[in-house]
Amino acid sequence: MSQPNRRTFLHQTARTGLALAAGATVLGQSRSAEAAEAKTGNPLAVFSKSFQDRPIPEVCRIFKEIGADGLDLTVRPGGHIAPENVAEELPAAVQAAQDAGLKVYFLTTAITEPNATSEKLLATASDLGIDRIKLGYYKYKKFGAMAQEMDAVKKQLAAVIKLAKPYGVLPCVHIHSGKSIPSHGTHLYELIKDFSPEDIGAYVDPQHMTKEGGIDGWRQGLDLLGPWIALSSMKNFAWEKTDRDKYGQQHWQTINVPVADGVCPVPKFIEALHALGYHGVISMHSEYKGRHSFQNLDTDGCIAQTAKDIQFVRQFV
């Protein structure tokens, strides 16, 4: 079994108060590193989903030019790297990032259960020093069965934890609004509250948490999830009118908008993260392609908008 990483060590000492004698030097070094990270701000990665039409070395060069610190790399079906090719292609991707002066901070995967492909991905990530991944999604299927479906997801998460733990890779559960489990912060808390933060992480999301908790629900969700927060995205949205139904009820939909233009109060969201002690990576999602965007941008348009988003967010991190 791999040795605990710095994040694991800090959680253990904070929870048990056992930072004595033999551990004192290591703890001091860890705290110094944490303080240095906090001083320099949250690292900003860019989610590679909107840039998958470009080869990874080119993506790395572009991300460096627009001011990013690294990548949130898609390793899933249809992603930059197919899961079955991870052993062959991920080392080259990590090297390309290093050559550009960047880091692959984590992988976005489709893992929801143990299997040979998932284990190979975890083993390869571990060998390359990538210590966390985003999991795939669990869907809410039947109204009236939420409690049973939550129990089923907990069992699946327990199985994924068991698979990932020997490799020292933290599986992180993303909050995604709509018909997902979890769709909001309290939902995720109920799923993971019986697991240690050493074994599973919360992937918080300002857009999705504000969709489901617009006034203060997003902040209350962060409050509950504090010890587990291991990743954060950065994206924003707006509401727009659509049609009325046969009864005359106005319908609404959401669209992705630039980070500075959306409903979520981004400075307050980041302030809350900092208050909880989170100074880790933030992934710029840049989902500006297709009909759910304020404009259907091409890849060059996404690059330009992402550069603006990074400049805006740097003020607060």
User: Rounded to an integer, what distance in angstroms lies between the CA atom of residue 145 and that of residue 127?
Assistant: 40
The model's confidence at residue 40, banded by pLDDT at 50, 70 and 90, is: low
Tokens in use for 246? 């046969």
DSSP bridge partners of 231 = 203
> Amino acid letter at 266?
V
Pairing, β 70-74 against β 44-47? parallel
User: Could you read off the pLDDT of 119-137 as tens digits, one per residue?
Assistant: 999 999 999 999 999 999 9
Distances (CA, A) of 40 to 35, 130, 204, 266: 9, 21, 21, 19
> Amino acid letter at 74?
T
- The pLDDT score that the predictor gives to residue 302 is 97
The model's confidence at residue 41, banded by pLDDT at 50, 70 and 90, is: confident
- Lowest mean per-residue pLDDT among 18-32, 179-193, 242-256, 281-295: 18-32
Give the alpha-carbon dihedral of 245, 249, 253, 257, to 10 degrees: 140
Distances (CA, A) of 293 to 8, 153, 183, 232: 38, 30, 20, 21
User: Rounded to an integer, what distance in angstroms lies between the CA atom of residue 295 and that of residue 257?
Assistant: 8
Q: What is the mean pLDDT of the chain?
A: 90
CB 152 within 8 A of CB 192: no
3-class state of residue 229 by DSSP: strand
> Amino acid letter at 13?
T
The model's confidence at residue 9, banded by pLDDT at 50, 70 and 90, is: very low
User: Could you read off the pLDDT of 92-129 as tens digits, one per residue?
Assistant: 999 999 999 999 999 999 999 999 999 999 999 999 99
* Helix ranges (DSSP H) in 141-230: 146-164, 185-192, 206-212, 217-225
CB 288 within 8 A of CB 309: no
At residue 5, does pLDDT exceed 90? Answer: no
Residues in CB range of 79: below 8 A, 6 or more apart: 48, 49, 52, 73, 108
- Lowest mean per-residue pLDDT among 14-23, 50-59, 112-121: 14-23
User: Could you read off the pLDDT of 134-165 as tens digits, one per residue?
Assistant: 999 999 999 999 999 999 999 999 999 999 99
Owner of token pair 């990270």: 37
What is the average pLDDT across 43-50?
97
At residue 11, does pLDDT exceed 80? Answer: no
- The pLDDT score that the predictor gives to residue 31 is 37
Residues in CB range of 235: below 8 A, 6 or more apart: 205, 206, 207, 256, 259, 262, 284, 285, 286, 287
- The pLDDT score that the predictor gives to residue 13 is 42
DSSP state of 311: H
CB 200 within 8 A of CB 171: yes
User: Rounded to an integer, what distance in angstroms lies between the CA atom of residue 112 and that of residue 88?
Assistant: 22
pTM of the model: 0.86
Tokens in use for 12? 């253990």
